[in-house]
Structure 1
């Protein structure tokens, strides 16, 4: 019975596991893969660890073999070094995978085309279609590395599930049916053509998204000679995206930024063409657009709307002048201190000072600050930091519309907020830039850092945000760790604009806002009321975060009336205050 093997098992059978063990391993693989599937960042960590471990094991095997084959010493050392590096630095391993995997796919596509030369025409056509599909998909994957990393994690989880199912099938003694040759002859070309169609569609979408990326023109570059004083006009050019009956200017001006250091900011000024005498000013603090330099509203298409400002016609019709800052680090050289009040608010008031230097524009000593979302918090900070320093501007009121009045509270609910990981990326990036004791990577898991780079690098109002939306939907908050803890939590608490204030406040809130919650606003206003501030909270039922500030929101006429009353010096109808 033993034949020439003398009854000893073959190498293959010696390594074959008992069926019961294979069944257990199959169940474990299916369960782990199923758990990892909606957690691609964790799956990516498993992929990195398994690949690194496999390299280390292979390196050890080669090292043993190198005793008798010296030529194996170099590959052994390479495998051990690469595998060990992957285990020690998983962040860099992910970045390498996001390049190597697409290149491997491209290489496989080229090989598929070359390998089928000289075969029959149908086989060759099928191979060319499949090869071109692989080349296109590899190119798309190279263009969007964060999405590629997520895809690798998802694929790793799927392969784990599939491998587990195969082990269960084998343990049960089942033999999966094999497709016949006729089926394969039909399926292969159909699959190749479908793959090519999908690849062409994805490549086309990628090209469209890439073409839509904003760029920073030379207007925003730092000149050689910059005034030392904040609020000085440095550069000006026409701004054309204005309503009928208005004229506009794009401005570059001096301000202060992180740590009170001198900085440059940009913005726009819009004024009625027909104007007599000095005109009152509405200075606008825009909502979140991103943290990358390219996310400045003044350089984006329909830039004011990108920052959630839809009332330029109404402001012009009132005879007011609109001044809208981009903040420090958006348009101008960064970084941008997202939701860091003291580093963003000065630019909003300094923009008004700079606008006073425009030829032919006469501004009254009456200013009302409006702001939405991120800008709502910035507007509140202009009142907290501004009075005293901004007396010459005549700030007579602040309207904070769905303001992030407590950034710590907002961060606490990002895990249940649609797109929450995008805003988490903005927060950790902005606070890392603003504070030496806040380190972004302390709050991002190593295998999630490439993903967070992608989320932080795109603007909310631009087409590329679709990639961030897909990534955010797939990963949720899994790239992050301890965002509301430690030093970062303490810094978030420092950026709550709890006053005191010297001017009346209007806080407006949408009743169904899922990003800035109503309960957060109520707690904030209650604290201000308790300390005697002149503040009024108006909640608009049925309105969400952006719907609050665009027509036909009932806030619009209320805001215009409230602002006109401030310019007229009328008393407020605040529910609490002095």
Structure 2
């Protein structure tokens, strides 16, 4: 199969993989079963494209972008991520690896299609935990990827002060679901914490079940229902006051962002609490961080970024101003 694909122009390879991902995405809209199918088929597509890139580098010695070793390395990344997701398709980290590989594939496809003319500037957007990721991406960008020209960062209902977030929502159903996700992920990332040993006694099986669910559709409903059967917080105060809390503080967004920053918050948000966000904004402003901060009345956590939200127009206008090189607004003044 790789030899057959190799007969096509190189730019066809990532387009083929991207098309497969898009097709599988259509199948992944409503149920956890179809999500698994999406992961399996996408992983298979990534493996094919990755192997093709490795063979292309070995046989022709001509890269897509820079050098043969880079072509082979990116192919290995794609094939490895696909294989990992195929073997452990229920785990969180392999799915994240698959998402990273898909992003790489999309970027490679766009840059290889001759009809497209991409500008080198970048805007970083993120919602909720993605907002937390956007802030951290901007904070390390100059050292990690200095070649990327970042024009601005938009963090929408971002998880900023993780200790305050954990304490503020620990008794709510959605907060318990998020705590279960933290437990599932940090058990893998920070094995030295012994996360299972820090959970409320007797909660390990329930937390593992919730942690295996997605925060969307039927899985989200199942997670919330399961969390209502847990009458105490998933992490007791002793855990948050100990090493686990230290990791929460270390992962909080207390860094300086050296790019125009836009932060949005729903005033009715019951997950990322408005009071917590205002306190974070106050602290960052006092530390000299300029930003444009906006709140949206009546908007819960997810409705903040839905199509009818006034945030969408503000966000697009903000992005247009960054692309046009206009002076950013500073709400801290």
Is this a same-fold pair by TM over 0.5?
yes
- Choose from 319, 322, 326 the match for 1:566: 322
Query: How many angstroms apart in 2 are the aligned matches of 1:331 and 1:294?
Result: 11
Listed one character per residue, the Cα deviations across residues 194-237 of structure 1 (whole Å, up to 9, x for unaligned) are xxxxxxxxxxxxxx97756633214325748698869x7549xx
Distance 1:446 1:416, change over 3 A: closer
- Choose from 422, 446, 450 the match for 2:205: 450
Structure 2 counterpart of 1:373: 128
Unaligned segments of structure 1, at least 5 residues: 1-207, 236-251, 255-262, 266-291, 297-327, 334-343
Q: Is the 8 A contact 1:365 1:393 kept in 2?
A: yes
Unaligned segments of structure 2, at least 5 residues: 1-29, 55-68, 83-87
| Paired residue secondary structure (1:386) | helix
- Choose from 17, 31, 36 the match for 1:214: 36
Deviation at 1:330, TM superposition (A): 1.8
Query: How many residue pairs align between the two structures?
Result: 279
Query: How many angstroms apart in 2 are the aligned matches of 1:521 and 1:390?
Result: 28
Structure with the higher fraction of residues in strand conformation: 1
Query: How many angstroms apart in 1 are the aligned matches of 2:140 and 2:105?
Result: 15
| Paired residue secondary structure (2:323) | helix
Listed one character per residue, the Cα deviations across residues 27-83 of structure 1 (whole Å, up to 9, x for unaligned) are xxxxxxxxxxxxxxxxxxxxxxxxxxxxxxxxxxxxxxxxxxxxxxxxxxxxxxxxx
- Choose from 100, 104, 113 the match for 1:359: 113
Listed one character per residue, the Cα deviations across residues 228-248 of structure 1 (whole Å, up to 9, x for unaligned) are 869x7549xxxxxxxxxxxxx
Q: Is the 8 A contact 2:171 2:233 kept in 1?
A: no
Structure 2 counterpart of 1:330: 95
Query: How many angstroms apart in 1 are the aligned matches of 2:120 and 2:31?
Result: 44
Query: How many angstroms apart in 1 are the aligned matches of 2:32 and 2:129?
Result: 27
Structure 2 counterpart of 1:498: 254
Q: Is the 8 A contact 1:376 1:399 kept in 2?
A: yes
Deviation at 1:406, TM superposition (A): 1.4
Structure with the higher fraction of residues in helix conformation: 2
Q: Is the 8 A contact 1:212 1:463 kept in 2?
A: no
Deviation at 1:389, TM superposition (A): 3.3
Query: How many angstroms apart in 1 are the aligned matches of 2:311 and 2:35?
Result: 33
- Choose from 179, 182, 187 the match for 1:427: 182
Distance 1:330 1:545, change over 3 A: same
Structure 2 counterpart of 1:464: 219
Listed one character per residue, the Cα deviations across residues 250-281 of structure 1 (whole Å, up to 9, x for unaligned) are xx859xxxxxxxx849xxxxxxxxxxxxxxxx
Q: Is the 8 A contact 1:419 1:476 kept in 2?
A: no
TM-score for both structures, normalised by structure 2:
0.72
Q: Is the 8 A contact 2:36 2:89 kept in 1?
A: no
Deviation at 1:365, TM superposition (A): 1.1
- The structure whose Rg is larger is 1
Structure 1 counterpart of 2:271: 515
TM-score for both structures, normalised by structure 1:
0.43
Q: Is the 8 A contact 1:511 1:541 kept in 2?
A: yes
Q: Is the 8 A contact 2:183 2:211 kept in 1?
A: no
Structure 2 counterpart of 1:390: 145
Q: Is the 8 A contact 1:535 1:576 kept in 2?
A: yes
